[in-house]
Amino acid sequence: MRLPEPRGPLTTALRDDLLAGEVSAAAVELARATAEAAAEPLLDEDLQLALAVCYELHYRGFDGVDDVLEWDPDMLTLRAHLERRHLAALRDLTGPTPATGDPVDQQLTALIAADDGPSLSRYMARHGTPEQWREYLTLRSVYHLKEADPHTFAIPRLSGRAKAAMVEIQADEYGGGSAERMHSELFAGMMRDLGLDAGYGALWDAAPAVAFTAVNTMSLFGLHRRWRAAALGHLACVEMTSSEPSRRYSSGLRRLGHGEGTTVFYDEHVEADAVHEQIAAVDMCGSLVAEDRSLADDVLFGAACSLALDGLAAGHLLGAWEAGRSALRAEPALAA
Ligand SMILES: [Fe+2]
Ligand SMILES: [Fe+2]
């Protein structure tokens, strides 16, 4: 993919340095200063896009950017400034998430039951217009076109039953050996059906900060061994909160006249995630915590982040639409 358009001084410096093949001391200092000055780090366009660009070096990289920069020490120092601020902001957002002595799957269920964030799926089922659907898919494409990849980084950090459970879930996410059944590919098909460019990273320039905030959180959890339990808690929460909303999203598309070929992404999640929910909560998170009780707090923190960031994205979309505005930064690029 090509490098996204800069959104401020930091992403401008980062783009220039990446294309030059060297991360400058000035860019590292700018990252430190940007992180320190950010009033709302999780909604900061420049900060979140910069972090997403740093992480993307671990996924598919960028046209014209040397792959060797992935492990460049200055790049990692720059990223660490952003990560520290991002993590502190996540803590502020979720509040404390202390574990109790109850089985962790029950604690996850209770956490989800207590969530009172806005329901985007209910809105999309009943009211979402074709244009709002395109905006929603544009925002979500930042994640779904790499669906499962961020959590997958956690697999080598696990062992035993927790690892086996995670692999079982991820194998389904990756289509069980069939490229066209990969969830990322099902999502891409749905984008194309709605007239959007489904190229990997093609709509980054239109996506608002909250789209990157969600994926950056998963990347941070997946790429740091220290946050492996949060990665699992996050994944478990995604699985546990997917089945019913997916049914609603599917019905929203059918209300607009779309058929099974388009709704298959959601229909697949209605079925698969009803199964994944148990595997994720009981086998994956339960086994991890049974091995090491001290990880329970992080499991819950990861889950709480998932809920809170879903709420942030839903609030962003619904707030913009209520005000009669687009929720995107620019018009989504329509497929040619
Ligand atoms: Fe999926
Ligand atoms: Fe799933």
Q: What is the pLDDT of residues 60-112, one digit of tens each?
A: 999 999 999 999 999 999 999 999 999 999 999 999 988 899 999 999 999 99
First vs last C-alpha separation in the chain:
17
Compute the distance from residue 269 Cα to the ligand 1 centre, in Å. Answer: 6
Residue 332 scores a pLDDT above 70:
no
Residue 220 scores a pLDDT above 90:
yes
| Residues within 5 Å of ion ligand 2, judged at the Cβ atom | 239, 273, 276
Residue 285 has a pLDDT of: 98
Q: What is the pLDDT of residues 116-151, one digit of tens each?
A: 989 999 999 999 999 999 999 999 999 999 999 999
Cβ burial, residue 223 (10 Å; 0-12/13-18/19+): middle
CB atoms within 10 A of CB 142: 22
* 104, 281 Cβ separation under 8 angstroms: yes
Compute the distance from residue 292 Cα to the ligand 2 centre, in Å. Answer: 25
CATH number of the 99-322 domain: 1.20.910.10
Q: Which of 200, 188, 197, 207 is nearest to 326 (CA)?
A: 207
Q: Which of 134, 148, 136, 254 is nearest to 197 (CA)?
A: 134
Q: Packing angle between helix 260-278 and helix 243-255, nearest 10 degrees?
A: 170
Closest ligand relative to 279 C-alpha: 2
Compute the distance from residue 167 Cα to the ligand 2 centre, in Å. Answer: 11
Compute the distance from residue 49 Cα to the ligand 1 centre, in Å. Answer: 24
Compute the distance from residue 108 Cα to the ligand 2 centre, in Å. Answer: 16
Compute the distance from residue 146 Cα to the ligand 2 centre, in Å. Answer: 13
The two tokens of residue 257 are: 């006249």
Counting residues of the chain whose pLDDT is more than 90, the rounded percentage is: 96
Q: What is the mean pLDDT of residues 176-205?
A: 98
Domain ranges in the chain are: 9-93, 99-322
Average model confidence (pLDDT) for the chain? Answer: 96
Residues 6+ apart with CB under 8 A from 30: 9, 10, 13
Distance CA 268, CA 282 (A): 21
Compute the distance from residue 175 Cα to the ligand 2 centre, in Å. Answer: 11
Residue 196 in 3-state DSSP?
Answer: strand
Compute the distance from residue 270 Cα to the ligand 2 centre, in Å. Answer: 9
Helices (H) and strands (E) in the chain, counts: 16, 0
334 — pLDDT class (breaks 50, 70, 90): low
Distance CA 291, CA 68 (A): 36
The two tokens of residue 280 are: 């994720």
